[in-house]
Structure 1
């Protein structure tokens, strides 16, 4: 599942406000990275973690307003409606020392309505990207409904909460449910996206359950932007194969400068070599704003690791907020 150069000469007005905001975010980025060096292995720094429904996952994570999570993403807009039979599913994933939410799109393979289908996938299946994971168990019962007041009610059996985790991961897992449910409803055109959407979670038909033994479900939940990944690759999907180029890369990210760095590395016998291609891409939304980006690549046939990240200008070579995907360009 982040820094700026030294502060320029002081300026007045709106420009000064933006500079202060950028410097604060940059400091958070440096703090996250320093902690990561001490706490995580090289593999984890590159975004690795074990996939699967709670198999070999982290057992603890900072709680809601930890300094490493707060302020990176300040808003998380809803997905837009689409006619495609595609399910948005959010997973947990590492970025440096933190765990954030990342989204994958999955094909609908059952007759459930969209919200239930997306939540069932989230709770019962594994993510496509092995860097992602989930702590939910497959529930014996799952249902969803939407009220006229734009409240989604999810009713799930208690056996979905089988994992033992701390408050930080419990909060992230409940946000995972909220993001998946609201995304599925928005994409299916089932809710009014111009007004706030709440998610009320019942367990075996009752309110007040303590999810994962940590989060009390006594009131409706909403999207928490603190847990959204600062960078993620939407396309290509992990493990995908393409027979035609250019390879169109799309994703979502935030950067203090409004610019992200990317690299494409060759993969031989499962081992990633040095950068084959590298460059930068702008986020049209601008500095400090979460937005989508896109660019094209024209590599020759082969297997590659595509990585997108923020370059730390204070520490050259340091990759912050990295997300990576494996992709194959096949012979036509």
Structure 2
């Protein structure tokens, strides 16, 4: 009889304790909801205050100078406060400048070559390093390291190396424009392949294994798997890497400055170097240099948008 009563007492105590825990849990959850809702209300109320520093920096550091630059491209000026409106005169002089047109062709050819070479080699290296290769982590670090070095330093390093090689034939890197062109191609490819490789490795590691296994079961060979499965599924990574290489190719400046500085006779200078030399090195051509900068912006923006549209359309179709 006493045992039965003790058992019933224990059951009642356990039930009471469970009820208290349940109430405590509900109170805690309720308090958490209250805290979360209060934090959400505070964020919704004060979001403008938190966004203001970044927004102000964007306005002051980018938007205002950009608008002023567009305006000054229609002016003759020596400082930003003494601009005199001349209309499209600066653009006419820019488009008639043979050195500017040559720099445009130089940058276009350079961008095409480096975009193809960098993406093909980076993809091949990434594909190999995603396999079971001993020391693949070390190889990834080694290939990525050149991207950590500044462009000016890389330019001077490769200037010494390439001049050392060409010295055997009595030549120098600045002897001929084609030497400077291929020297820049080697330098930029060596610098950027490792960075693009990392992006491709991330894309390859995210590929759905079930699709690859299904292809293997269906008897697809290596070539079919690569061109009909892997590459279509890798289009997001290809879009990013091709966008970066295209824009970097046109915007190239510091490597060009350090490696050749446009020699010989400004025949190995790209668009960015030509614009800088026009603005700072030719008296009275500040407005023309600014007009060239606006044309440069439009060109890069249009090409980048077209390239992104083309690769994204293939990405969607894949």
**Structure with higher helix content:** 2
**Structure with higher strand content:** 1
When Rg is computed on C-alpha atoms for both structures, the one with the higher figure is 2
* Higher relative contact order (Cα pairs below 8 Å, separated by 6+ residues): 2
